[in-house]
Amino acid sequence: MPKYVFIETLGCQMNVLDSELVAASLVRAGYELVDSPRKADTILFNTCSVRQHAEDKVYSALGRLKHVKERNPEKIIGVLGCMAQKDRELVFRRAPHVDLVVGPGQLGQLPRLLEQIAAGEGPKLEVSLDRKGASRPLVEQSFAHFDPARDVRPLGGRAQAMVRVMFGCDKFCTYCIVPRVRGPEQNRPAAEIEAEVRQLADQGCLEVTLLGQTVNSYRDASQGRTVRLSDLLERLAAIEGIRRLRFVTNYPRHMTDDLLQAVRDLPKVCPYLHVPAQSGSNRVLQRMKRGYTVEFYREMLHRVREMVPAATVTSDFIVGFCGETEEDFQQTVDLVREGRFKNSFIFKYSPRPGTFSAERYADDVPEPVKRRRNNELLAIQNAISAEENAPLLGQTVEVLVEGPSKVSRKPSRQGEINQLTGRTACDRIVVFDGDDSLIGRIVPVEITQTSAFTLFGSVLDRPKP
């Protein structure tokens, strides 16, 4: 009899990829995926710990499952990912009905752990070593990779896939929990990445997004000559069938000319760069230990605009970081006004226990001030996003069709006219009418209306099958 598993994923694309790999490994082990926890006998949360809010959501979802577990003790409840690595035993203390806690570096063990729990072995905890508690090689080994075990069958036959090129992070920005929960920076060998992308291309994948916490610092010297991200992109661009290559997230200091040349010269590499600035104030950047000044960031942006004028740039900002004054905030506003980002993700600072800033600096910007700065910056960014999208009116863009749009994400019969959504190479979201057969294809769309977040249009002609 098949066992039914439900996976809820919070957080970033790294987590989305982890959930896909977990799902594939469980399907191989005889599980069937279901779309609701009610239908499942195994309920898994793949968690995020980058902000408090993401953790609160998981603990309250776990709280709601307490009675479900009491009534159905055979159901298995598991907590995976970053919060599992950060909280460890604390998860069992806060939610005693949880059966399983597994960190991001141990996900490959899931099928075995679930089997052991089902066999009555009791709760299981598998996490990687603490970065402070052991030597670097031992810690690295404890963050085990399982990407090479990727299932050869595409999940849902999609035209898009994510491929991890590096694990972990060594930057230790003072606010960030990632280096602790995802471990030391480790680069995957280029040959392994190339083989995975080739396999995806053979399965009909058109677009690959390379993932790394600081993806543009990618370096692989395992085969002698160092392979940089620009070299890797060149190798991947040569793979037949692949039409688009993306990479996220970039670290400003590593935005080198060779990479920008690759974006400019390789037609398959999307002219889209996510380069988080975090703040426009040098005082704040220094406290964040970001390793660059706002002048450096501006110069980097200038280089991007000179070398790849067609590129869209997006950013992340944290408002209300420890000690951020109104003047510091105004400098961030200035950077947002000048930067002309396609969009920015704006976050209120959330102290994460175990990080430098949570331990050494006071979280001294009151919540209403954080909220006000967040809203103010968002309003400025949104106006810029709308202005940046406006010139696309009347243009024809190439859209990779992802699926039904939010409004038409309701069951529909095959071939019925739907509203679809997809993205341009520059990562603009485009919504238009079309039938399901367009999903997974790249189609020309003429833009008839624009807004800050979305372009609307109509498909010009049907692509050849």
Structure tokens at 111: 């099928």
Q: Is 278 in the site for ligand 5AD (CB under 6 A)?
A: yes
Q: Is 441 in the site for ligand 5AD (CB under 6 A)?
A: no
Q: Is 276 in the site for ligand 5AD (CB under 6 A)?
A: yes
Residue type, 103: G
Interface with ligand SF4 (CB under 6 A), residue from 98, 173, 255, 270: 173
**CB-CB contact of 258 with 219 (8 Å):** no
Interface with ligand 5AD (CB under 6 A), residue from 31, 45, 175, 272: 175
Task: Tell which phi-psi region holds residue 236, choosing left (phi > 0), alpha (psi between -120 and 50) or beta.
Answer: alpha
Q: Is 214 in the site for ligand SF4 (CB under 6 A)?
A: yes
**CB-CB contact of 380 with 399 (8 Å):** no
Minimum distance, C-beta of residue 50 to ligand 5AD, in the bound complex (Å): 5
CA 269 to chain centre: 18
Residues in a beta bridge with 434: 418
Closer residue to ligand 5AD in complex, CB, 59/146: 59
Q: Is 176 in the site for ligand SF4 (CB under 6 A)?
A: yes
**CB-CB contact of 62 with 79 (8 Å):** yes
Minimum distance, C-beta of residue 250 to ligand 5AD, in the bound complex (Å): 11
Q: Is 179 in the site for ligand SF4 (CB under 6 A)?
A: yes
Minimum distance, C-beta of residue 50 to ligand SF4, in the bound complex (Å): 8
312 binds, among ligand SF4, ligand 5AD, none (CB under 5 to 8 A by kind): none
316 binds, among ligand 5AD, ligand SF4, none (CB under 5 to 8 A by kind): ligand 5AD
Minimum distance, C-beta of residue 292 to ligand SF4, in the bound complex (Å): 11
CA 48 to chain centre: 11
213 binds, among ligand 5AD, ligand SF4, none (CB under 5 to 8 A by kind): ligand SF4
Q: Is 318 in the site for ligand 5AD (CB under 6 A)?
A: yes
Cα–Cα distance measured from residue 12 to residue 10, given in angstroms and rounded to the nearest whole number = 7
Interface with ligand SF4 (CB under 6 A), residue from 167, 251, 272, 432: 251
Q: Is 216 in the site for ligand SF4 (CB under 6 A)?
A: no
For the chain, the straight-line distance linking the first and the last C-alpha, in angstroms and rounded, comes to 39
Structure tokens at 246: 């993306």
Cα–Cα distance measured from residue 298 to residue 413, given in angstroms and rounded to the nearest whole number = 50
Which 330-359 positions form the footprint of ligand 5AD (CB under 6 A)?
A: 347, 349-350, 352
Closer residue to ligand SF4 in complex, CB, 212/422: 212
251 binds, among ligand SF4, ligand 5AD, none (CB under 5 to 8 A by kind): ligand SF4
Structure tokens at 39: 């239908």
Closer residue to ligand SF4 in complex, CB, 285/438: 285
Minimum distance, C-beta of residue 377 to ligand SF4, in the bound complex (Å): 18
Interface with ligand SF4 (CB under 6 A), residue from 75, 88, 171, 264: 171
Q: Is 176 in the site for ligand 5AD (CB under 6 A)?
A: yes
Count the neighbouring beta carbons within 10 Å of the beta carbon of residue 465: 5
Residue type, 221: A
Q: Which residues of 98-136 are buried (b: 16+ CB within 10 A; e: fewer)?
A: bbbbbbbbbbbbbeebbeebeeeeebbbbbbbebeeeee
Minimum distance, C-beta of residue 160 to ligand 5AD, in the bound complex (Å): 21
Minimum distance, C-beta of residue 349 to ligand 5AD, in the bound complex (Å): 5
Minimum distance, C-beta of residue 48 to ligand 5AD, in the bound complex (Å): 9
Residues in a beta bridge with 344: 315
For the sheet containing 160-164, what is the strand order?
Answer: 160-164, 207-211, 244-248
The backbone torsions φ and ψ at residue 379, rounded to the nearest 5 degrees and listed phi first, read -65, -40
Q: Which of 274, 347, 345, 270 is nearest to 314 (CA)?
A: 274
Q: Is 345 in the site for ligand SF4 (CB under 6 A)?
A: no
Cα–Cα distance measured from residue 43 to residue 6, given in angstroms and rounded to the nearest whole number = 5
Q: Is 316 in the site for ligand 5AD (CB under 6 A)?
A: yes
**CB-CB contact of 219 with 166 (8 Å):** no
**CB-CB contact of 48 with 12 (8 Å):** yes
Residue type, 237: A
Q: Is 101 in the site for ligand 5AD (CB under 6 A)?
A: no
Segment near ligand SF4 (CB under 6 A); pick from 176-184, 232-240, 253-261, 433-441: 176-184
Residues, the chain: 465
Q: Is 292 in the site for ligand SF4 (CB under 6 A)?
A: no
Q: Is 254 in the site for ligand SF4 (CB under 6 A)?
A: no
Q: By CB under 6 A, name the binding residues for ligand SF4.
A: 169, 171-173, 176, 178-179, 213-214, 251
Q: By CB under 6 A, name the binding residues for ligand 5AD.
A: 50-51, 175-176, 276, 278, 316, 318, 347, 349-350, 352
